[in-house]
Structure 1
Amino acid sequence: MDGFKKSSHTVHDIKYHVIWVTKYRYKVLSGPVAIRTRELIRQGCEARGITILQGSVGKDHIHLLLSCPPSLSPNKILQYLKGRSSRLLQDEFPELKKRFWGQHLWARGYFCTTVGTVTEEIVRNYIANQFNEEKNDILRIEE
């Protein structure tokens, strides 16, 4: 079972591709701000047991490919990463605090999609071929 992570009660391989942008798409993530943003994201992921498989810090957005435990929802991951990084970046860089009044460095939303090698079709076929019952049943009973 290569590529799978194990904990006391689970075996999992959960990957998310997430993107979020700065408020008003201001291009403020450059130089020391970009370097510090990268450090904060790395620290936040490490603290939560999240592995960064790939990532980039653009001038106005962040792209990450994350592998995370099943106990963390994408919503909680982004809430933590965006909130912590916004607060610390604005404390460390006064020019950001002036530009982003109201303490909102990041725009409200984010993009998230799951990533994996098993497609929906493969899962459907696997489930459908488990038992020799009527194939049209969506939720069958194992006997």
Structure 2
Amino acid sequence: APNYNITLEEWNHDKDHVHILFKAHPNTEISKFINAYKSASSRLLKKEFPQIKQKLWKEHFWSQSFCLLTTGGA
């Protein structure tokens, strides 16, 4: 997150998705950050829990989609 000028505020999860609340500068390339976050977390989880690969579809840990909602004001 620091490489993208993003600050993680809160992280929560359910059994099939996560919620991440972060603070970013308005010109931050958020989609690049989200893709990097998903890539790195997938790699780390597969390394720590190798048995998880047996449950994945084509070794994809995350789907390619995401939902981004904004808060605050200008």
Q: Higher relative contact order at CA 8 Å, sep ≥6: structure 1 or structure 2?
A: 1
Smaller-chain TM-score range? 0.7 to 0.9
5+ residue gaps in structure 2? none
Query: What is the rounded CA distance, in whole Å, between the counterparts of 1:69 and 1:97 in structure 2?
Result: 36
1:100 is the counterpart of 2:56: yes
Of 49-58 and 102-111, the range deviating more from structure 2:
49-58
Equivalent of 1:60 in 16, 35, 49: 16
In the alignment of these two chains, the number of paired residues is 74
Question: What is the root-mean-square deviation of aligned Cα atoms in Å?
Answer: 1.9
Deviations 1:118-140 (CA, angstroms, capped at 9, x unpaired): 5xxxxxxxxxxxxxxxxxxxxxx
Q: 1:85 to 1:53 in 2, by over 3 A?
A: same
Q: Post-superposition shift, 1:47? A: 4.7
Which structure has the bigger radius of gyration? Answer: 1
Q: Post-superposition shift, 1:67? A: 0.7
Equivalent of 2:40 in 76, 79, 84: 84
% identical aligned pairs: 32
5+ residue gaps in structure 1? 1-44, 119-143
Deviations 1:82-140 (CA, angstroms, capped at 9, x unpaired): 0111111112101211111433101120000221135xxxxxxxxxxxxxxxxxxxxxx
Deviations 1:20-56 (CA, angstroms, capped at 9, x unpaired): xxxxxxxxxxxxxxxxxxxxxxxxx245431122221
